[in-house]
Amino acid sequence: MDAPITTVEPEGKLAPAADRVVPINERLKPLYPDFEGLNYETPLQLLIAVILSAQCTDKRVNALTPALFARFNTAEAFAECDIKELERLVKPSGFYKNKAKNIKACCKELVARFGGTVPTQLDDLVSLAGVGRKTANVVLGHAFDKPGITVDTHCGRLARRLGLTRHKDPVKVELALCEIVPEPEWLLFSGRLIMHGRAVCRSRKPQCAKCAISDLCPKVGVKGLAAKRKRKKVNKLPVEPPA
């Protein structure tokens, strides 16, 4: 577990990270009661959809998966499919060649090692082609009700900005949050951080003035962002030609 992180703000000293997690979660809960997520009917469909969602919006993935799942509805069907047809169907998600390759390879492994069914253990899931801990935790949490923390770029950024961890490695961020977030809230808390990161606490221009958890946040690195933007603006000023 990370050492407790506190930051002195004009209002005073913030509580340690472990003491702020529950209030942060309680404030975010009514703001994001429903998760905008991926559409699926089976664990396999969720697994495929999460693979497709890398560097792609859920909305775009949801737009292409009905045709994809109508064409291929089992691990065996994906494993035996024509790769060119699969590439065509997943092309709107971007990086389609690599995603199609991973989906086909993943399903071949599902058939060969797990009888065509999606395993329910983290170690088994991350052993599959194209499946990392984030993908595995999403599948375990949503398809099998096994809590896990999903760390994407938004979750990692907010965890550091909120002073909940200093780590940049996603696995270390996940483990650090597991130490201080109540286990039943793991999936929900990380999901709320992701949505708050998209809506308010953005990477380059966090909207601290309208943030519901601003008083609970040490704003790690935010001042540096403002200074960086100021320097960038100065560097872009036109230079007068010599007289």
Q: Residue 240's pLDDT is what?
A: 57
Decide if pLDDT at 213 tops 80.
yes
* Angstrom distance (rounded) from CA 135 to CA 54: 9
149 neighbors 189 (Cβ within 8 angstroms): yes
* Angstrom distance (rounded) from CA 113 to CA 108: 8
Nearest to 50 by CA among 122, 146, 132: 132
Tokens linked to 225: 């962002």
* DSSP codes, 87-111: HHHHGGGSSHHHHHHHHHHHHHHHH
Q: Which CATH number fits domain 16-237: 3.40.1350.10, 1.20.1070.10, 1.10.3720.10, 1.10.340.30?
A: 1.10.340.30
Annotated active-site positions, please?
134, 152
Q: 234 Cβ partners below 8 Å, 6+ apart?
A: none
With 0-12 CB in 10 A as exposed, 13-18 as middle and 19+ as buried, what is 238? exposed
**Residue 57: pLDDT band with limits 50, 70, 90:** confident
- Tell me: the pLDDT tens digits for 127-147? 999 999 999 999 999 999 999
* Angstrom distance (rounded) from CA 126 to CA 138: 12
Decide if pLDDT at 4 tops 90.
no
